[in-house]
Amino acid sequence: MMEATVPTTFIDNAKVMAKGQVTIPKDVRKVLGLDSGSRVTFIVEQGVVRMVNSAVYAMQMMQSEMQGEAERSGLTSDEAVNNLVKEIRSEGE
């Protein structure tokens, strides 16, 4: 049996319960890669809320912070990276 794909753009809704709880619709959980126990991050910008998978968001933030760091450190080639690794390994011996 072939699993149906979720369209890239769609609208879904959910009811807010008394304690502010909401069940995330199945198709939204699928798009975000959420399983039971997954954490979500809410990003609020000018009255618009985005909900993202917390693990994916953390990785994106780390990648953004690290972008350009290699060039600033002078690691502009595979050879430079290999030399740094060799240097660090020799310090540990």
Residue 1 lies in a domain: no
Instruction: Note the helical H segments in the chain.
Output: 26-32, 54-66, 69-72, 78-91
Q: What pLDDT does residue 83 have?
A: 86
> What predicted TM-score, i.e. pTM, was given to this entire model?
0.62
Residue 20 resides in a domain = no
Residue 92 has pLDDT above 80, yes or no: no
Q: pLDDT per residue over 36-76, tens digit each?
A: 999 999 999 999 999 999 999 999 989 888 888 877 887 88
Is the residue at 72 inside a domain?
A: yes
Residue whose pair of structure tokens reads 């979500």 in the numeric block: 40
Q: Would residue 84 count as lying in a domain?
A: yes
Domain total in the chain: 1
Distance of CA 29 to the CA centre of its chain: 14
